Chain A
Amino acid sequence: MIHLFLTSWRNFLRNLRRYWVLLLALILVTAVLTSVLAVFGGMRTGINEKASRYFAGDLVVFGYTGHNKSIVEHPQEVLEAVDEVHEQGIGIKAISKRSIYYKAARIDLFYAGYWTRQRRLLGAEWALERPMLENLSFTAGGVPEDGDESAAMISRTTADQLKIEVGDTMLVSIWSDKERVNTTEVVIRGIFEEPSFFGFATYLHRKTLNRLREVPEHQINELGVYLEKPLHQQQKAARLLAQEMDKRLPTIGVLDREAYRAAPFKKREVREYGVTTLSAQLDELNDLLQVLTIISVVIMIMFLGITVVGVSNTFTMIVWERTREIGTLRALGLQKGGVILSFLFEALFLGIGGVVFGILFGVVILFLVQMLVELPPNFVSTLFFSQGRLQWVLAGRDLVLIASVVIGASILGSVRATIRAGRKRPVEALSKNT
């Protein structure tokens, strides 16, 4: 067997000139697969990390009357319900009470003549959300002191644009809820690395934001719950919370994506409360990722089909060209199975060669793109890239997947031709004029 393996290896090397086009194709396919999977992996990891902080928690409670804005007028009742959920075995990491300002073109930040815009202002209570906010990767400063109403946290991109540092005073200008310009000064206490869709958000103290918005200081727009096991318990926890809230308040249950979109605009006689999960809020992004995944799968299948057919054709040609060689081997006593195995080994080497060089090539491409291509900040580049640069994650299972797909395709493609090679009779094979 080992002998056969070595012979096949020698044959493979000797026939390399026949294989090179196919090998190049396999390298290309592997490089493309590697790049696609790595880029999608990077996107997914990045987005999930950032989302929960941005959306106030894994579960969020809204209160609507039909005027678009959510207000949680009965936080005490909601908190009691959260306690009940906790009693029923759902691990809860932290609670958030947030004020939200979301008018993309109406948020201006100024410092020393420099100016930039934000997508969202998040009014948080430092003390409540400290455990979660501390997970932000700070490049300077950190989460402000409990109760520090003059403090703000901004992303590093924002800080770079404003040329501002921790300790400096920044001016925030918005169109308040009364549709007029209002401003406030805040001191930068933390600068965090969140260069994405979620990075165009500035954290203020909830009371400060409410004053800026000209709404009651204690108003809460969203009450969020961070779970210990968000991925496993999110749906169950949402259901339980809705049930518990229903015992205390007018409730509209767990809002899925559609309901979450429609809820703010439906006219209601009293304020009604609903719970939504992070994944429902993230649905649009999830959809996008799903589309990307489908595209990547389609690309993969397409490439795979091309590879299998290509390998099959090439092997047919190779087997045909090497008929006399097969005849000689058979005449020297090599069995039918041995011939088949010998060609299958060659296909294996071809696959392995393609995988090794292809992954290397793919990684080099990824590195080069990451190093050389810098996109200006815009919606897509900030959502999917890190500081305008490609970010990619190549998980072990991705490598295994790529290797098995490419090697599998190579072997699968060679099967028909190798079986045909095995069937050749020595005498006939030797008499073939090539």
Chain B
Amino acid sequence: MRPTTFHLFNRAFLPAAVFVLLVSPAWAEGSIDGLFNEPDTESVDDAEGEEDTVDVGELTTAPLEVSGSVSAGIGAGLGLIEWPGSAAAGSRTAADLVRPSGFYSISSAVSVDARPEPYLRFYANVSTSLDEGVMDFPAPEVKELFIDYTLADTVFFRAGKQGLAWGQGRLLANPANLVSRVSDGVAFRTTVPAGPGTLGGVIYSIEDWVNRYAAIDPRAFGFAGQWEATLGPLSLAAMGHYHVDEPVDAAAGVSFGLGEVNVAVDGAYHIDQGDPISSASSWEALGQLFWEDEGRNWSILTEYWFDSSVADRQGHQAGIGIRMPDLWSDWRPAVSWKHAFQDHSGEVIAGIGGSIAPDLTMSIGLPVIYGKPGTFYRDALTETVTDENADEEEQRLTPVDNVVTLLLAIRLNFSL
């Protein structure tokens, strides 16, 4: 159809033309018709030439890469252990209830990533952080260490210590995440395209199970499977989990877009295999609405979670999280509110953070916890002190978590 006289020239010219295109003012500014002053060097028959195509394998191949990161942070907090004037505070004045605190941390991680072949990958990540008790760094801990193998570009295997998350919950809980403990142990995972979706399977073991049974005993393993697919506007997922000593878990989730709002619903059922008389089986359900404006400036996430294992069908919880646009530079405020109806406790966190210098970030947070001690969102009273100001000497339990704290932290993050 078209003469091929430009063919050889094209091969040599192409890289140069690429460069010219990206910087040339003629392309960016000149007249549109001026673009046609040179004949097309591209529309040639490629049939006889070598095929220059995207190498699907190349994307998943990379030389050995070692990267490291170090992070150091200092922070200070000023909080109230009880609300002044509340019954729990008694006659203590605001000044008595103030509790200042400070903290610091240093941690470092090194990761190794090798993709020698398109079907093979090795990844490891070890990290250590300062133990303030002994003022030393403990031996590095392996956070992740796995090998990936892809068979015939179709079946994917990952073996080793790895993180994995199923389910859609983000704020309150994630009941459909039946594999939350995978990262505590070692797992073998595989995914296969199946029908209109993907089928995944996980076999894993954790320290507790290995201590209970021999390491080769099948009872030392947990088994989980998941099928997920997108059918029209619906994303569907079904999953299950089995371990010999635990309730059998089954979960399903669906999500779809409703106008600009993404709706997600997850349900999980835990079938107790132990004592058939006591109805220990329980179920959980999570509903989620998520909205984001087109520029991802504003986002609002609301969740409702029900857990039937809480007595008297009281296990309702609701939460909302709002992220606002940057106020200035990259300083972005966010606020979240979680409330447990079962004991009317909750947590409101307002925070803002951003960079103050290269590699240096600052964050300011104001967490407020409410509810009686020992409720869902508030730890029980554990710290015993003697209140010397009281009329008579009395033993007073003070909470470990503040009802409100103003936190300020500065963190240095550096990675290469």
Contacts and interface: CB of A to CB of B under 8 A. Distances in A.
Judged by CB atoms under 8 Å, the answer to whether A and B touch is yes
Contacts of A309: 85-86
Nearest to A413: B85
- Which of A305, A375, A376 has the most chain B CB atoms inside 10 A of its CB? A376
B91 A317 contact: yes
Contact of B327 (A312, A313, A375, A378): A375
Contact of B93 (A306, A313, A375, A376): A313
Contact of B84 (A25, A316, A379): A25
B388 interface: no
Interface string A293-320: 0000000000001111110111011000
A153 B86 CA distance: 57
Interface string B79-99: 000011110001101110000
Given A314-B93, A317-B91, A378-B297, A306 B325 contact: no
Nearest to B92: A313
* Interface residues of chain B: helix, strand, loop or mixed (majority): loop
Contacts of A306: 83-86
Size category, B interface:
10 to 19
Contact of B298 (A21, A312, A314, A378): A378
Contacts of A310: 84-85, 94
Nearest to B96: A21
A316 B325 CA distance: 47
Given A306-B84, A310-B84, A378 B293 contact: yes
Interface in B270-319: 293, 297-298
Given A21-B94, A25-B94, A376 B325 contact: yes
Contacts of B83: 306
B46 to A, nearest CB: 37
Nearest to A316: B91
A373 interface: yes
A313 B91 contact: yes
A90 to B, nearest CB: 39
Interface string B94-120: 110000000000000000000000000
A312 B333 CA distance: 37
**Which one of A310, A316, A317 has the highest number of Cβ atoms from chain B below 10 Å of its Cβ?**
A310
How many A residues are at the interface, by size bracket?
Answer: 10 to 19
Nearest to A311: B85
Contacts of B86: 306, 309
B296 to A, nearest CB: 12
A68 B266 CA distance: 35
B95 A313 contact: no
A373 B90 CA distance: 39
Interface string B54-91: 00000000000000000000000000000111100011
B325 A378 contact: yes
Contacts of A380: 298
Contacts of B84: 25, 306, 310
Contacts of B85: 305-310, 312-313
Interface string A24-50: 010000000000000000000000000
Interface string A312-344: 111011000000000000000000000000000
B148 to A, nearest CB: 42
Nearest to A376: B325
B321 to A, nearest CB: 16
Nearest to A312: B85
A78 to B, nearest CB: 33
Nearest to A373: B327
Contact of B325 (A21, A25, A308, A375): A375
A373 B298 CA distance: 18
A254 to B, nearest CB: 28
A380 B333 CA distance: 14
Contacts of B327: 373, 375
Contacts of A25: 84, 94
Contacts of A307: 85
A140 B83 CA distance: 54
A31 to B, nearest CB: 16
B91 A21 contact: no
Nearest to A309: B85
A407 B83 CA distance: 21
A307 B83 CA distance: 11
16 contacts: A25-B84, A25-B94, A307-B85, A309-B85, A310-B85, A313-B90, A313-B91, A313-B93, A314-B93, A316-B91, A317-B91, A317-B93, A375-B325, A376-B326, A378-B298, A379-B298
Interface of B: 83-86, 90-91, 93-95, 293, 297-298, 325-327
Given A378-B293, A378-B298, A378-B325, 20 more contacts: A21-B94, A25-B94, A305-B85, A306-B84, A310-B85, A310-B94, A312-B85, A313-B85, A313-B91, A314-B93, A316-B91, A317-B91, A317-B93, A373-B327, A375-B325, A376-B297, A376-B326, A378-B297, A379-B293, A380-B298
7 closest Cβ pairs, A-B complex: A309-B85, A310-B85, A306-B85, A21-B94, A313-B91, A310-B84, A21-B93
